[in-house]
Amino acid sequence: MESIEKSIIIYIVVNDSFVNENFGDNLITLTPDDVRQRFGTLFAKKFLVMVDERAGVAEIIEHCLARGPIEWDAMNRYRAGGVVTGCLVEGTSMTLKAKLGRAPVNFGAAADDIGGQALEAVEVSGNEVTTSWSGIAGAGVGVAACLPQAPGVLRSEYPTEDDLSIGGARTNRVRIISPRYEKLCFGIDDTDTRTEGATWVMALRCAESCRIEGVEFLNMRLVQLNPKVPQKTTNCVGSALNFAVKPQNVTELKEYIRKYIEEHTFSSDTGIACYRGIDFTMDSPAFRWVKTEIMTLDQAERESQTLGIEFLDRNAKKGRIGALGAVLWGNRGIEAAGLYGEHL
């Protein structure tokens, strides 16, 4: 049995350029409905890819019926290398961070130094994104039969008919093509007063009411800012809204957020900030300042220009400081909700 496993591993690692060499004129293209018809309805509930070409990165979101497959896929993809740089599992969903481009993978039957499933490439072409996958045995079922039928997939390409034979000890390869999305994070602060309103409520209502085609609300985060600042309501908390957006809908979404918040705010100090991208391409002391210092409006506006953050509000008042803080921490995990340096 050990010799059989080793021969499988060697074959897969040596042939990590398999996809490039074998996706030719004879490839098989299937829609999600075709995949369901062939294999039956499986368990992938969502597939979405956002790209940030300026930073050279992508973020892939997947939802599954159960947590187990998500956890196993996450660990194996990370171990297999390829273009994967990080992964977050929350319940039955996974957020996978990856580099744009292609990289060698190391996968095969289960072992301590390889993964059973791998992401070989993330490539952008116009308004589409192609992700290239490899899997063996049950993990091959995941990439060949499960993911290709997820809502969000446009079509999938298989190099040969053998890659559509799933299960057992087989190896499967597939390219999944999906719409190109970008990521926008909005920071909102100072919409309430000491007698009226709550910024997080308004922010969630804004996201919930958005019905723009090509826009998908991802999540919302409450960001604890410095509680010692003198000019605040009570808790000194900003709100961050994250959206996946098709490039042609970016301007419409920004205008929708600005208009909704300005029409529903209770304060004349409201700030609205926006960052278009997945990762910040540089660090800034403002990540710490918004939670520990008393920042000035001039500092906030200067740091926003350095980091590529845009203010959408027309007030140009102190709310921009908290809005900047919400954007900076809007994708930094549960620590966003805590004081600086506080962890669970």
The domain 190-337: what is its CATH number?
A: 3.30.70.2200
Distances (CA, A) of 335 to 84, 130, 222, 329: 23, 33, 10, 8
Which helix or strand (DSSP H or E) is residue 206 part of?
A: helix 199-209
- Among candidate residues 61, 62, 89, the one with its CA nearest the CA of residue 75: 89
130 beta partners: 123, 177
Which helix or strand (DSSP H or E) is residue 186 part of?
A: strand 171-189
Could you tell me the two tokens for 254? 């920004």
Residues 107, 247: Cα–Cα separation, whole Å: 34
Residues 211, 202: Cα–Cα separation, whole Å: 16
- In order along its 344 residues, the chain shows pLDDT tens digits of 333 333 333 334 433 334 444 566 689 999 999 999 999 999 999 999 999 999 999 999 999 999 999 999 999 999 999 999 999 999 999 999 999 999 999 988 877 778 899 999 999 999 999 999 999 999 999 999 999 999 999 999 999 999 999 988 889 999 999 999 999 999 999 898 777 888 999 999 999 999 999 999 999 999 999 999 887 667 889 999 999 999 999 999 999 999 999 999 998 899 999 999 998 878 889 999 999 999 999 999 999 999 999 999 998 899 999 999 999 999 998 999 999 999 88
Amino acid making up residue 344: L
Domains of the chain by residue range: 2-180, 190-337
